[in-house]
Amino acid sequence: MTQESNRSDEQIVREIARETVSELRKTRRWRNFFYSLFALYLLGFFAIYLGNNLSQMSGIGEKHTALIDINGVIAENAEASADNIVTGLRAAYKNSNTAGIILRINSPGGSPVQAGYVNDEIKRLRKKHPEIPVYAVISDICASGGYYIAAAADRIFADKASIVGSIGVVMAGFGFVEAIDKLGVERRLLTAGENKGLLDPFSPVKAEEVSHLSGLLEDIHQQFIGIVREGRGDKLKEDEDIFSGLIWTGEQSLDIGLVDELASSSQVAREVIGAEEIVDFTRRENYLDRFARRIGSAMVESFYTHTIMQLR
């Protein structure tokens, strides 16, 4: 019984050892896999980082035209945020071979605050670097906040079919008062402050609230008009419709003074700035950031958790 028991114990020990070795091999393979994956991630990051920097450095040896794209809605967390646009502008000015800067605009507008930040920074940088001109070139559309930015440029160019204008301010919403009455829903709104429930969509509109907000919109509109008049000066045709929120084609905009000439970015770089080589200084989202967002934070967390566990 003792010998049989010893053999049984030995078999158990061998089996445990075999399973332990097998698990260790599996763990090592997984660890090596995650190490390799992480190394590829870093390699990709540096490749993209170097690629972006090399694209900006391609004009180092000669004079070039710096390009900053302003695409889409102008908002704090959007591609066309003030932070992204201003970062690109500063980088373009910092490059000693920048002969001129093009703001290529394709935007329906957005936040007046974000557009105002960019407008202010363009004027500051123009004053600081008077030898480097800044031109706005409109592609498909330059409306509202987009034109707020364009107005700060030395000159504005557009295509004959571009959409330009919409110099106005809008605030929109919905009212559901009758809908909840029909549904038999009772609205319970508690506030501390007489106007804290301003324009609540489930409460009747108050004339004093509308009056207050109309004054607010008018104030912002006058700021917008002042920016456009300051930027365009006597180029503007004396026509109040310009500030009514209407839009025009690039060709019509030329007649009323909203744009200076009809030309594309390449034409402006070649014929106006005199530096045909265009270097893109647009600050764009990193491809790896997009990838990380798509795969989700769960996968990233799982990756790090698994890696840390294997390293313990």
Sign of CA dihedral 214, 218, 220, 221: positive
Percent of the chain having pLDDT more than 70? 77
Residue 256: is its pLDDT beyond 80? yes
Percent of the chain having pLDDT more than 90? 55
Band of residue 289 on the pLDDT scale cut at 50, 70, 90:
low
Residue 143: is its pLDDT beyond 80? yes
Q: What is the pLDDT of residue 18?
A: 78
Residue 63 vs residue 36, higher pLDDT = 63
Residue 1 vs residue 89, higher pLDDT = 89
Judge whether 160 and 139 are in contact, CB under 8 Å. no
Judge whether 88 and 282 are in contact, CB under 8 Å. yes
Q: What is the pLDDT of residue 252?
A: 96
pTM above 0.75, yes or no: no
Band of residue 128 on the pLDDT scale cut at 50, 70, 90:
very high
User: For residue 218, what are its two tokens?
Assistant: 């008018």
* Alpha helices (H) in 174-256, listed in sequence order: 177-183, 207-232, 250-256
* Alpha helices (H) in 66-111, listed in sequence order: 82-94
What CA–CA distances, in Å, run from 97 to 88, 94, 204, 281?
15, 9, 60, 13
Q: Where are the domains of the chain?
A: 2-49+290-311, 58-281
Q: What is the pLDDT of residue 34?
A: 60
What is the rounded average pLDDT for all residues in the chain? 83
| Cα–Cα distance for residue pair 34/105, rounded to 1 Å | 43
Judge whether 160 and 249 are in contact, CB under 8 Å. yes
Class of domain 58-281: alpha beta
pLDDT digit string, tens, across residues 170-226: 888 888 878 877 888 888 888 888 888 787 888 888 888 889 989 999 999 999 999
| Cα–Cα distance for residue pair 188/192, rounded to 1 Å | 14
Residue 11: is its pLDDT beyond 70? yes
